[in-house]
Amino acid sequence: MSEIVKQDFSEVLTQIQLSKQKAYKQVNTVLIELYIEIGKYISLKCVKENWGKSVVQELADFIKLQDPTIKGFTARSIWRMKQFYETYNTNEKLSPLVTQISWTNHLLILSASKSDEEREFYIMTSIKERYSKRELERQISSGLFQRTMLANKKLSTVVKELPQDTKNVFRDSYALEFLGLPKEHSEKDLQQGLVSSLKDFILEIGKEFCFMGQEYKVQVGDTDFNIDLLFYHRNLQCMVAFELKIDDFKPSYLGQLEFYLEALDRDVKKEYENPSIGILLCRKKNEEIVEYALSRSLSPTVISEYETKLIPKKVLQDKLDELYLQFERND
């Protein structure tokens, strides 16, 4: 089969897949609207005619008897439709959005959320990230809302600041396994815990990053040193070294990282690869600092290109802040 024919066939396949997605959205919209109307009807009957759970059970039995092919209208399901209607009926912000996620996800949010703010958070995030049931369950179980509020950050802010081509791989970010360190810990425990969580985050959010090693050994002079995290960036075709310091920023840290980059370029880099990049993360009076270390031989144009394809500083700062807060809460 020629490449031209393959391309033509792929176009037809794409049209089919897009139509399936469109059909699913339309069916989901109709279903959610139906559930809202049934919920509204039951809610009014409860107020005006004192309908209760026993009457709703009779209704469910009636539907099943009259049309056994109809599924999903048990007494419990109908009662949840009532709850759904009463929860969002007066919410002008969310009412137009409820048809954009599945009923299954709505049930998860209704069951797990304790406030309007939490429900809004998970609905908006589910729409933006297109969470499946499994993904949403993971996010809720990991306490995404509580952690985001604890860090006083909005997830949407972080997502907006990601490069356009990384948004789709952000689905399972913020469901990371956090430090889980023992109550009694040393600075080394903290360092290792932060580095491990940072590694997972980078691999989740940065689809171009390939993991090369943790505490990657390089030689500077006659002394061996360990780089906290080393990745290879496929798009930039270069190594990216991450160094995490748990104390205040010092200019010497950048100098140390530059030595590491020189060692990488001298001993590890292939001839066809670009000069290595260093990213330093540390704290300064409870503020997270992210600095790049780049080869002096790079032109301003190339440096600008590098920075647009790396994880933005603000995203790394927010994540580091979240990791510190999580650790302090576990302390």
CATH number at residue 279: 3.40.1350
Looking at per-residue pLDDT, the higher value among 327 and 319 belongs to: 319
Per-residue pLDDT at 187: 52
What range defines the domain where residue 81 resides?
Answer: 3-100
Q: Of 233, 310, 223, 303, which is closest to residue 263 (Cα–Cα)?
A: 223
pLDDT tens-digit readout, 54-112: 999 999 999 989 988 887 888 988 999 999 999 998 888 888 888 888 888 898 898 88
Q: Of 181, 242, 260, 178, which is closest to residue 206 (Cα–Cα)?
A: 242
- Indicate the Cα dihedral angle 254, 256, 262, 266, nearest 10°: -150
Specify if 167 maps to a domain.
no
Would you place residue 283 in the very low, low, confident or very high pLDDT band (cuts 50, 70, 90)?
A: low
Per-residue pLDDT at 170: 28
Tokens of 328: 């302090």
Q: Are 230 and 245 in contact (CB under 8 A)?
A: no
Per-residue pLDDT at 327: 57
Specify if 9 maps to a domain.
yes
How much of the chain exceeds pLDDT 90, in percent?
A: 15
Per-residue pLDDT at 173: 28
pTM of the model: 0.45
pLDDT tens-digit readout, 109-145: 988 888 888 999 999 988 888 888 878 888 888 788 8
Q: Of 287, 233, 225, which is closest to residue 255 (Cα–Cα)?
A: 225
- 244-260 b/e (C-beta count within 10 Å ≥ 16 → b): bbeeebeeebbebbbbb
Does residue 174 surpass a pLDDT of 60?
Answer: no
Does residue 184 surpass a pLDDT of 90?
Answer: no
Tell me how far CA of residue 99 lies from CA of 22, 113, 137, 219, 255, in angstroms. 13, 18, 19, 58, 53
According to DSSP H, which parts of the chain are helical? 3-48, 53-66, 75-88, 103-112, 116-129, 133-141, 144-150, 155-160, 187-205, 251-267, 300-309, 313-330
Does residue 228 surpass a pLDDT of 60?
Answer: yes
Residue 242 β-bridge partners? 229, 279
Mean pLDDT within 248-270: 85
- Domains contained in the chain, number: 2
Specify if 54 maps to a domain.
yes
Q: Report CA Rg, the chain.
A: 26
Per-residue pLDDT at 87: 92
Q: Using alpha carbons only, give the angle 8, 14, 20 rounded to the nearest 5 degrees.
A: 145
Q: Which of 19-28, 95-104, 291-300 has the lowest mean pLDDT?
A: 291-300
Q: Which of 75, 100, 125 is the last residue of a domain?
A: 100
Specify if 147 maps to a domain.
no
pLDDT tens-digit readout, 186-220: 456 666 777 888 888 888 777 788 888 888 888 77
Work out the number of other CB atoms within 10 angstroms of the CB of residue 212.
16
Per-residue pLDDT at 58: 93
Q: Are 91 and 110 in contact (CB under 8 A)?
A: no
Mean pLDDT within 275-281: 87
Mean pLDDT within 157-185: 34
Per-residue pLDDT at 188: 60
Q: Which of 81, 100, 119 is the last residue of a domain?
A: 100
Specify if 261 maps to a domain.
yes
Would you place residue 274 in the very low, low, confident or very high pLDDT band (cuts 50, 70, 90)?
A: confident
Amino acid letter, 191: Q
Specify if 86 maps to a domain.
yes
Q: Which of 50, 82, 100 is the last residue of a domain?
A: 100
Specify if 317 maps to a domain.
no
CA 246 to the chain's CA centroid? 24
Does residue 155 surpass a pLDDT of 80?
Answer: no
Tokens of 234: 């496929």
Question: Residues near 209 by Cβ (< 8 Å), separated by ≥ 6?
Answer: 202, 203, 231, 232, 233, 234, 240
Specify if 187 maps to a domain.
no
